Amino acid sequence: MSSEFAWSAEQVELRRTVRAFAAQVSPQEEVRRLMASPLGHDPAVWSRLGEELGVLGLATDEEYDGVGDGLVSQAVVIEELGRALVCGPLLGSIILGATVLGGLSDKAARAELLPGLVAGRTTAALAAPLHRGGFDPAAVTVTATARHSGASASDGTPSPDGTPSPGGTATAGYTLRGSVAHVLDGAAADLLLVAATIGGAGAGTDGDGDGDGDAVGLFAVSADATGLVRQSAATMDLTRRQATVSFNDVPARLLAAAPEAAAVLATTAETAAVLLAAEQVGAAQYLLDLSVEYARTRLQFGRPIGSFQAVKHLCADMLVLVEQARSVAYHGAWALDEGTDDPRIAASLAQSVCSTAFTQVAAMAVQVHGGIGFTWEHPAHLYLKRAYTDAALFGGAEAHQERLAQLVLDDADGH
């Protein structure tokens, strides 16, 4: 990629293909049907995204059945899926799960787990506190206890894919205890990736209270593990599922110990903030297009409402917000791909700008549509709820602005 960003011909075609697919499989009536269904998405559509279109692993290395095309191309796909509110475990399985697994030093675990995720055959969820574009070790609420190294595999210790190890093999597994709320796509995931404090050093610290994550490990837990309890949580955005996951001496396999686990989770938080920003851009663009079309065709006093100055200003303000958000989101993806900027700054800048833009555009879209925009039948409320839910997922705009100020001031002070 050159020093000046430009879409490649492949990325332009990728956008066109994914937009056409999303329009086909995710019309508004299908979104409403799926958000009321027990699972919350159509597994056949999810599988088609992975195996037919091959777009779930664009940022995953080729040796793990991905494409290895980087975050910019992955962001293009996520933007278009967000535009159509395509229901599926995008955040839990791809934005979080695949990113975590792709960052592991354990090649065997990557080779075993990633192909299923990028093909859409299996799904994952991450149970870890990610806030303000970073990982917060002090907020870890699960504790891992090592079992005796001579324990037989028949006791249920999972291998990295969450399945029992071959019979008769001695294992050095762990059990997990604790609970994590607001786990994205956690109720139906085949694999849970869990951040846990090892050996009673205190939640998320190395025992000295500084919260640096020196005692935090990353674990794999099978969906059918003994002692695992998952309870779906009520959410404002019915198109995006969350769950409370409880671990009652649940057998688990260590994927990454300290300090690798904390580093992988920190990188995942930055990547997730940027990719979520791309999804926010797609949804905001849909609302802009919807509002402009309505303003062009809705008549009042014998004139299109788009001819009225107040409506013109609303649409113009929405356009400025969307274009600014798109620039910042793709700067973040590009910066993380190329290493051209501090990833912490790129991630928090993306979330600060895009969360604000999406919520403002959603509110303006309702205003442009007038009375119909407040009804259940109109799609505006689905996007409005998505906007406010997205803005809270990895820390609100104000939290990211505070983080940006701290990072910039630290650099200015030479720290």
From 1-10, 27-36, 333-342, 371-380, the region with the lowest mean pLDDT: 1-10
Rounded Cα gap, residues 383 and 366, in angstroms: 10
Q: What is the pLDDT of residues 269-321, one digit of tens each?
A: 999 999 999 999 999 999 999 999 999 998 889 899 999 999 999 999 999 99
Q: Is 72 helix (H, G, I), strand (E, B) or coil?
A: helix
Rounded Cα gap, residues 281 and 354, in angstroms: 7
From 1-15, 249-263, 270-284, 318-332, the region with the lowest mean pLDDT: 1-15
Rounded Cα gap, residues 306 and 131, in angstroms: 40
Name the residue ranges covered by the structural domains of the chain.
9-122, 126-258, 264-413
Of 29, 227, 233, 216, nearest to 141 (Cα)?
A: 216
Options 3.30.110.30, 3.90.420.10, 3.40.50.740, 1.20.140.10; which CATH number does 264-413 get?
Answer: 1.20.140.10
pLDDT bracket for residue 415 (50, 70, 90): low
- Per-residue pLDDT at 58 exceeds 80: yes
- 395 Rama sector, left if φ>0, alpha if ψ -120 to 50, beta otherwise: left
Rounded Cα gap, residues 109 and 161, in angstroms: 7
Q: What is the pLDDT of residues 88-100, one digit of tens each?
A: 999 999 999 999 9
Q: What is the pLDDT of residue 119?
A: 97
- 382 Rama sector, left if φ>0, alpha if ψ -120 to 50, beta otherwise: alpha
213: which strand partners? Answer: none
The residue with tokens 């030093």 is: 105
Q: What is the pLDDT of residue 339?
A: 86
Options 1.10.540.10, 1.10.10.60, 3.40.50.1470, 2.60.200.20; which CATH number does 9-122 get?
Answer: 1.10.540.10
Percent of the chain beyond pLDDT 90?
Answer: 80
CB atoms within 10 A of CB 377: 8
- Per-residue pLDDT at 353 exceeds 70: yes
pTM above 0.75, yes or no: yes
CATH of domain 126-258: 2.40.110.10
Between helix 260-297 and helix 71-83 the angle, nearest 10°, is: 40
Q: Are 322 and 277 in contact (CB under 8 A)?
A: no
Q: What is the pLDDT of residues 363-376, one digit of tens each?
A: 999 999 999 999 99
Q: Are 190 and 124 in contact (CB under 8 A)?
A: yes
pLDDT bracket for residue 163 (50, 70, 90): very low
